[in-house]
Amino acid sequence: MSTTTTINVQRVSIVSPKPFDEVVRRVTATLGQPDLRAFHDALVAATTVAELEQTVHGAIGASGLMEFGRFDAGDVLRKGTDGRGPKLLRLLVGNPLIMKEMARRVADAAAYAPITILVDERPDGVHLAFDSMASLLAPYGDDAAIAVARDLDAKVGALLEAAAH
């Protein structure tokens, strides 16, 4: 048996007049940049919540978030164009402790975390965007999970606002 749930997603977008590389530098400056293999191994080895929290707190940056990965879609788009074309970067950003709090209540939250931040260069500036976690969890109707998601949205929104201005 399968089910289909319709989810109305709210996309948060900010436009910056700053150059693309500067915006990316500013977005990533306060993200933790752990060695992901070592981080994963430490998560697996943690046997208590305190050890898990210690591992995560050692990996996150000043923003309370960490970078899980990046995909340079612009590099793919520029192939065959002599390097001309848009700059487009996808960052996977989050905090496993925040995901844990949401997924305890709504298991599907783990499908949406970490959050994707899209940074792309357009004629009117550098666009920074992410899909609101609260909007993704809204159909599940769990107020506690949605409250955690709103806090995450605020954290990501503040990160992007600071990078844009």
**Which residue positions in the chain have pLDDT lower than 70?**
83
Structural domains of the chain, count: 1
- What pLDDT is stored for residue 82 in this prediction? 76
Is 55 contained in some domain?
no
- What pLDDT is stored for residue 77 in this prediction? 80
Q: How many CB atoms lie under 10 A from the CB of residue 124? A: 8
What are the pLDDT digits (tens) for 43-52? 999 999 999 9
Domain range spanning residue 73?
12-31+64-164
- What pLDDT is stored for residue 90 in this prediction? 97
Q: At what angle do helices 96-105 and 143-164 cross, to 10 degrees?
A: 150
- CATH number of the structural domain spanning residue 72: 3.30.310.70
Is 1 contained in some domain?
no
- What pLDDT is stored for residue 148 in this prediction? 98
- What pLDDT is stored for residue 14 in this prediction? 97
* Residue of 152, 99, 45 lying closest to 54 (CA atoms): 45
**Which residue type is seen at 50?**
A
